[in-house]
Structure 1
Amino acid sequence: MCVGVPGKIIEKHEYSAVVDVMGSQTDVGIIFVPEVELGDYVIVHAGQAMSIVDEQYAKESVIEWRKFVDARNSKPVL
């Protein structure tokens, strides 16, 4: 199973971009989405922007990712 997270393009270079993923910034390759523009949302998997998605989808996905992260962080320690 492959899992991708949504990120917002905040800086674009020729073959890479900086994305904001839930408040963290990281560099990703954009070879699969060379038409991406600043402000676009992409699905990031294994260091690559795999596809462009609409803002609504990205924001709904982030809500679900935050629930997952919060649940993992509140797991009791044995």
Structure 2
Amino acid sequence: MCLALPSLVTELLDGDQAKVDLGGVTKAVSLALVDGVAVGDYVIVHVGYALTKVDPAEAEKTLALWAEMQETGALT
């Protein structure tokens, strides 16, 4: 099973790379598979590659639900 959450693009790097943030965890990922990504966009990341951009409102809803699940202990 694979789970991917929206990650916020915080910095564009050289060579089709970007720095993303997911709940305080930052990581460099490849943008080779997605066109037109800018700082402030949300992307779905899997094994180091951004797969698609995500609508900001949908990303915020998903992240809020994830945080709620963590708070209630639904995730272990």
Shorter-chain TM band: 0.7 to 0.9
Q: Aligned pair 1:11/2:11, yes or no? A: yes
Length-normalised TM-score, structure 1: 0.79
In 1: Cα distance, 2:22 partner to 2:29 partner: 11
In 2: Cα distance, 1:72 partner to 1:18 partner: 29
- Aligned structure 1 segments of 4 or more residues deviating by more than 6 angstroms: none
Structure 1 residue 23 displacement after superposition: 2.1
Q: CA RMSD for the aligned pairs? A: 1.8
Structure 1 residue 55 displacement after superposition: 0.7
Q: Which residue of 2 aligns with 1:30?
A: 31
Q: What stretches of structure 2 of length at least 5 have no aligned partner?
A: none
In 1: Cα distance, 2:70 partner to 2:32 partner: 29
Structure 1 residue 72 displacement after superposition: 5.6
Larger radius of gyration: 1
Q: Which AA in structure 1 matches 2:36?
A: E
Alignment CA distance shift 1:69-1:45 (3 Å): farther
Q: Render the CA deviation track for 1:15-56: whole Å, top value 9, x for unaligned.
A: 210011122211111111132111111111222111001110
Identity of matched residues, %: 32
Q: Which AA in structure 1 matches 2:23?
A: M
Question: SS of 1:2's equivalent?
Answer: coil
In 2: Cα distance, 1:42 partner to 1:49 partner: 6
